[in-house]
Amino acid sequence: MTPMLASFDPPYWLSTVIKVLVVGAVVPTTALILGVVFLFKIMSWMQSRLGPQEAGPRGLLQLLADGVKFIQKEDIAPNGADLWVFKAAPLVVLSSTLLLYVALPASAHLVVEDLDVGVFYVLAISSLSVIGVLMAGWASANKYSLMGALRAAGQLIAYELPMVLAVIGVVIQAGTMSLNGIVFAQNGGAVFGWTGIGNPYILTQFIGFFIFIAAVQAELTQPPFDMPVAESEIVSGYQVEYTGFRFLIFFLAEFATAFVFAGIAAVMFLGGWAVPWLEASSDWYYVLGPAVLFAKVMVVSFIIFWVRFTYPRLREDQLQSFAWKFLIPLALVNIVATAVLKVVF
């Protein structure tokens, strides 16, 4: 089967259509999986309750039922809202998420576009969702929305820096910004000359991993960094006026972004789609790669959601000083240490 897959070389237009369809199908599916597994089930178990039970086996289809409910609802916009901007905002957020999936490799060839600057691309595109959030907050003509959007912008700007700086350590070690290149570098690496498990960068870049996960948590505006959508202070912030399928788009984008960031973290720190005891150039990865990546993504997502369900919300000033006074200096020290060690070894 693998040689047939390898020789499949469709014309440009056909491959583009296939890629668009695959991304269009993968994004809602991943959001659905994370929503059901973590938001409904694991959160319930952590809080000693059962979670949804009625829809489907063990309530696993609850989110699908919710999705249908959202789509059926009336499309309401507030009277004072700026209609065009109000309606476009969720789409801006969603398109930023869709573009993130372009760079995520599920095996050496199973990637929408294997960019030479993959890491850089991901960081640049992830900063676009702020525009959508600000549009939503402003166009709703509601002071809670506005406050939420301002909080979101301040938070996303503050946590973009540690995220970029955390990634630099990995880029220095791998010597490439291509996400596939980073996977190959980890698969072919060695821990002090021992090649048994390659060199997953979580061993050497554990500080980078910690900073990256903390920054991802903040970028997703999840607890303990959920001040922009704090329901008890500003009634869900910029999302407060959205209902029906527009709210569904925000929801979808949040969980799909969580999945893709967990995927990027898995690629950069856990060896991506490769397993250590099988060469990264092996043809087996055509079928094995996506499964391996999915398993690693679920592990990273579990960490992200575990923190989400167990920590209380920080205060706004604590959030800012955590980024500027702790994460950024730590990331800079990490970069210097990595660079020095790279030259020494």
Partner 1 sequence: MLALLVAQNIAFYIIAALMVFGALRVVTCKNLMHAALWLVLVLAGVAAQYILLAAEFVAITQVLVYLGAIIVLFLFGIMLTRTKTGTDDNLNNSAGARRMAALIGVLLAGVMGYSLWDGFGKREFGELTVQRTAEVSDSIFSTYLLPFEVISILLLAALIGAIVLARRD
C-beta closer to partner 1: residue 48 or 79: 79
Indicate whether 117 belongs to the interface with partner 1 (CB under 8 A).
yes
Among 111, 112, 125, 213, binds partner 1 (CB under 8 A): 125
Indicate whether 321 belongs to the interface with partner 1 (CB under 8 A).
no
Side-chain-side CA neighbours of residue 328 (13 Å): 12
* Eight-state DSSP code of residue 194: B
| The pair of three-digit structure tokens given for residue 51, joined into one six-digit string | 């979670």
In sequence order, what are the residues at sequence separation of 6 or more whose Cβ sits closer than 8 angstroms to the Cβ of residue 167?
119, 123, 208, 212, 268
**Minimum distance from residue 335 beta carbon to partner 1 (Å):** 16
Residues 243 and 73 sit within 8 Å (Cβ to Cβ): yes
C-beta closer to partner 1: residue 220 or 248: 220
Residues 305 and 38 sit within 8 Å (Cβ to Cβ): yes
Which residues between 74 and 113 bind partner 1 (CB under 8 A)? 80-82, 85
CA distances to 24, 210, 329 from 333, rounded to whole Å, are 40, 14, 6
**Minimum distance from residue 4 beta carbon to partner 1 (Å):** 29
Closest CA to 81 of 2, 153, 146: 146
C-beta closer to partner 1: residue 127 or 320: 127
**Minimum distance from residue 120 beta carbon to partner 1 (Å):** 5
Rounded distance, CA 17 to CA 286, Å?
20
Among 33, 123, 172, 332, binds partner 1 (CB under 8 A): 123
**Minimum distance from residue 294 beta carbon to partner 1 (Å):** 27
C-beta closer to partner 1: residue 111 or 300: 111
Q: Dihedrals φ, ψ of 192, to 5°?
A: 50, 45
Stretch touching partner 1 by CB under 8 A, among 34-42, 155-163, 319-327, 334-342: 155-163
Among 148, 151, 160, 300, binds partner 1 (CB under 8 A): 160
Rounded distance, CA 20 to CA 236, Å?
32
C-beta closer to partner 1: residue 63 or 130: 130
Run of H or E including 12: helix 12-34
Residues 128 and 92 sit within 8 Å (Cβ to Cβ): yes
**Minimum distance from residue 165 beta carbon to partner 1 (Å):** 14
Which residues between 169 and 228 bind partner 1 (CB under 8 A)? 177
Closest CA to 182 of 205, 165, 161, 163: 205
Among 19, 43, 87, 120, binds partner 1 (CB under 8 A): 120
Residues that bind partner 1 (CB under 8 A): 80-82, 85, 115-117, 120-121, 123-125, 127-128, 130-131, 134-135, 137-139, 141, 146, 149-150, 153-154, 156-157, 160, 177
